[in-house]
Amino acid sequence: MKFQLKHLVPLSIFLVLLGFLMVGLKLDPHEVPSPLINKPAPLFEQKLMTDANQTFSVEKMRGQVWLLNVWASWCTACRQEHPLLMRMSQEIGIPLVGLDYKDTDAEGMDVLTKFGNPYTSLVADVEGRVGIDYGVYGVPETYLIDKAGIIRYKQIGPITEEVLYTTLIPLIKGLQ
Amino acid sequence: MMKKIFSVIAFTCLLGLNANAQNIGNDPVIESRLKALSQELRCLVCQNQTLADSSAPLAEDLRREIRELIAKGMTDEEITAYLVARYGDFVRYRPPLKSQTAILWAGPMLLLFAGFGMLLITLRRRNALIANDKDTEE
């Protein structure tokens, strides 16, 4: 049988398919790109969990680059992230605001007294309404917000060392 | 004795049903709209379930949110837009026709036409072969 170009067709189809499958392996279907990137951070104002006489408001953060970390005491991945947050809050030099999502104040505070409080401000979202405005669908999630109040980056799932040093810190430096 | 136990079980089951029905159905108009809408929307926690089917806490919150938006007098389109603004087009089970989703919409048609094209070429070749054979036979 003579060799013909068309005999390569099945092999090339197979290679294309293999390429698609290999790309597919690296995609995480749980990471849905947020439509809020490069949009203004939804405003909210809430009493601080640590001091009921003071409030936190997104509007008052204008002019600062800051991070919003959505977490909960019932969330195990947040517990994994916690030591890095403790270290990070010292290193990055920008406010790290904690939003205790669908949690009770008592249980949230209990975790922080046991393991340390990395947050510069801490607010509660007991009913998950702020979470809906920010498109939160799985905790932990972290938003990087710039001086004009625009969301620049969203980390879905725990922040890792790699994310911190290769993505977050360069982004923060660029925004300052 | 057994009869008594059975009747107690049956009674508690009925109680349960009744309690559920009362919780969900405050306003039948809102509930029917919520049902229709939430069947078109994806639960982001368990992505292959609709908001209507999912029992994830986020799905419950979103159903509550939709209920409130309906009560505020928003149309179905406005409510869908409200959710898309927060979670992206991914929440919709019927993706909108955009430049990003063009392949999704046109892909099956293109494949169908490609199939027809190949079929046509193959049939023509076969006809030509048969015609050739007949020529040589004669």
pLDDT at B25 over 80: no
Confidence of residue B24 (pLDDT cuts 50, 70, 90): very low
CATH number at residue B31: 1.10.8.640
More confident residue, B95 or B119: B119
Contact: A138, B62; criterion CB under 8 Å: no
More confident residue, B80 or A176: B80
Tell me what the mean pLDDT of segment B86-101 comes to.
85
Q: Which two tokens stand for residue A89?
A: 């809050």
Q: Helix (H, G, I), strand (E, B), or coil: what is residue B50?
A: strand
Q: Say if residue B68 is in the same domain as residue B123.
A: no
Query: A69 and A119 in contact (C-beta within 8 Å)?
Result: yes
Tell me what the mean pLDDT of segment B70-77 comes to.
92
Q: Say if residue B4 is in the same domain as residue B20.
A: yes
Shortest alpha-carbon distance between residue A91 and chain B (Å): 31
**pLDDT, tens digit, for every residue of A77-134?**
999 999 999 999 888 889 999 999 999 999 999 999 999 999 999 999 999 999 999 9
Q: Say if residue B23 is in the same domain as residue B86.
A: yes
Q: Which two tokens stand for residue A98?
A: 């904690």
pLDDT the model gives residue B6: 56
Tell me what the mean pLDDT of segment A136-146 comes to.
93
Mean pLDDT, rounded, of chain A: 92
Angle between helices B57-71 and B28-38 (to 10 degrees): 130
Q: Say if residue B92 is in the same domain as residue B119.
A: no
pLDDT at B93 over 60: yes
B65 chain-A contacts, CB cut-off 8 A: 129, 132
Q: Say if residue B124 is in the same domain as residue B64.
A: no
pLDDT the model gives residue B16: 46
Q: Say if residue B82 is in the same domain as residue B114.
A: no
CA dihedral B15, B19, B20, B25 (to 10 degrees): 130
Question: What is the domain count for chain B?
Answer: 2
Alpha-carbon span A57 to A61, nearest angstrom: 7
pLDDT at B129 over 50: yes
Tell me what the mean pLDDT of segment B1-21 comes to.
51
State which amino acid sits at residue A158: P
Q: Say if residue B88 is in the same domain as residue B103.
A: no
Q: Which of B45, B86, B82 is nearest to A33 (CA)?
A: B86
pLDDT at A75 over 80: yes
3-class secondary structure for chain A?
A: CCCCHHHHHHHHHHHHHHHHHHHHHHCCCCCCCCCCCCCECCCCEEEECCCCCCEEECHHHCCCCEEEEEECCCCHHHHHHHHHHHHHHHHCCCCEEEEEECCCHHHHHHHHHHHCCCCCEEEEECCCHHHHHCCCCCCCEEEEECCCCEEEEEEECCCCHHHHHHHHHHHHHHHC
Confidence of residue B132 (pLDDT cuts 50, 70, 90): confident
Domains of chain A and any CATH numbers? 40-175 (3.40.30.10)
pLDDT at A56 over 90: yes
Scanning B51-70 for CB atoms below 8 A from A yields: 57-58, 61-62, 65
Q: Say if residue B36 is in the same domain as residue B103.
A: no
pLDDT the model gives residue A3: 76
Q: Say if residue B120 is in the same domain as residue B71.
A: no
pLDDT at B104 over 80: yes
Contact: A138, B65; criterion CB under 8 Å: no
Q: Counting beta carbons within 10 angstroms of the beta carbon of residue A167, is it exposed (0 to 12), middle (13 to 18) or buried (19 or more)?
A: middle
DSSP character at residue B92: B
Q: Say if residue B47 is in the same domain as residue B33.
A: yes
pLDDT at B18 over 50: no
Q: Say if residue B118 is in the same domain as residue B53.
A: no
Query: A73 and A89 in contact (C-beta within 8 Å)?
Result: no
Q: Measure CB to CB from residue A32 to each of B57, B65, B90 and give the nearest one.
A: B90
Domain that holds residue B31: 1-96
Q: Does A133 touch chain B (CB under 8 A)?
A: yes
Is ipTM strictly over 0.90?
Answer: no
Shortest alpha-carbon distance between residue B81 and chain A (Å): 12
Q: Measure CB to CB from residue A128 to each of B61, B84, B89 and give the nearest one.
A: B61
Confidence of residue B101 (pLDDT cuts 50, 70, 90): confident
More confident residue, B58 or A2: B58
Shortest alpha-carbon distance between residue B65 and chain A (Å): 8
Q: Say if residue B126 is in the same domain as residue B81.
A: no
